[in-house]
Amino acid sequence: MPKAMPVINDWQIQRLKGRDFIDFKDFSVEELEYLLSLSMTVKKKFKAGELYQPLRGKTLGMIFTKASTRTRVSFEVGMYQLGGHALFLSGSDTQIGRGEPIADTAQVLSRYVDGIMIRTFAHEDVLELAKYASVPVINALTDLHHPCQVLADILTLHEHKQTLRGLTVAYVGDGNNMAHSWLMAAPKFGLNIRVASPKGYTCDAGIVAEAKEWAKQLGTEMIITEDPVEAVQQADVIYTDVWASMGQEAEQQERLRAFQGYQVNEELCKHAKPDYLFMHCLPAHRGEEVAAEIIDGPHSVVFDEAENRLHVQKAILVATMA
């Protein structure tokens, strides 16, 4: 990817209107470059104090069956800044939490709101919601994918490195939704991706196979390994996530044993490039998946990532709903 983002024509912009944002596989390289470029534009307008409200009069329904800090605040603030309104819908407060079919919820909400954001456990629930909704559906996290976070990470990486093509991202830890979204996104942004996970906690085989095809087509490197040092060797970015995600609390002790040797610490980071960036989607458990001196050290950009959730999600909202 060049330093200057490409100009995307009106036809490419228009074809994102009304689209769902569920998984990177649904978007072309050019469409993702446009979303990244739009994120930069939206952020620039915000930093300049420019009033930018293309979603005035629009409402986003936000379904949460999985708790959040960054997701709720960033989407809610983002809609407000864009001139629209965000409606928080927790699982316990809606009929979907009492057994109403997702298809019914999708059709009802589509008559009230202009877009639906959902943060939940099962990826199949998001797919079903999108199937029956007549308004755009945004995946704010499932157990399988977390595309909003990874797009924010990629914006952060571009800001710090001024380019993307040819950089290497090393993901060390659980082969979870974060790893899956990185695998699917990296080739389309010209990034090399390496994932190191212990046996029994590796990425979904189907997602790996699909991502490898993209890497082959687009000429990028992809390595799946059990060796953290192999993954981190001369990497530009070291990324990790918690070892036990929400809903996996019962596995905490078992996972702590399985992930010994996968902590991102000073010893592991010695194998990366001297100017590597450390990334984490947060919340973090210092002393488990990452040492405090790394996440709180000079290489860490975790709070830039958190801020960029706001700007990236505003771009997604504008592209799909404006």
Model confidence pLDDT, tens digit, residues 62-117? 999 998 999 999 999 999 999 999 999 997 777 776 788 999 999 999 999 999 99
Q: Is the pLDDT of residue 152 over 70?
A: yes
Rg (CA), the chain: 19
Residues across the chain: 322
To the query of whether residue 304 is one of the catalytic residues in this protein, the response is: no
To the query of whether residue 241 is one of the catalytic residues in this protein, the response is: yes
Task: Give the distance between the most distant pair of CA atoms in the chain.
Answer: 55
Q: Is 262 exposed, middle or buried (0-12, 13-18, 19+ CB in 10 A)?
A: buried
To the query of whether residue 281 is one of the catalytic residues in this protein, the response is: yes
The rounded distance, in Å, linking the Cα atoms of 167 and 134 is 38
To the query of whether residue 180 is one of the catalytic residues in this protein, the response is: no
Question: Annotated binding site for L-ornithine, which residues?
Answer: 177, 241, 245-246
Please report how many Cα atoms fall inside a 13 Å half-sphere around the Cα of residue 147, on the Cβ side: 22
pLDDT tens digit sequence for 27-63:
999 999 999 999 999 999 999 999 999 999 999 999 9
To the query of whether residue 260 is one of the catalytic residues in this protein, the response is: no
Which residues lie below 8 Å from residue 318, measured CB to CB, with a gap of 6+?
A: 38, 42, 54, 55, 82
CB distance 200 to 254 below 8 Å: no
Which amino acid would we find at residue 181?
S
To the query of whether residue 56 is one of the catalytic residues in this protein, the response is: no
Question: Annotated binding site for carbamoyl phosphate, which residues?
Answer: 68-71, 95, 119, 146-149, 281-282, 309
The per-residue pLDDT for 99 is 81
pTM beyond cutoff 0.75: yes
Annotated active-site residue in 123, 145, 146, 255? 146
**β-strands 137-141, 168-172 pairing:** unpaired
Question: Annotated binding site, which residues?
Answer: 68-71, 95, 119, 146-149, 177, 241, 245-246, 281-282, 309
The rounded distance, in Å, linking the Cα atoms of 321 and 250 is 39
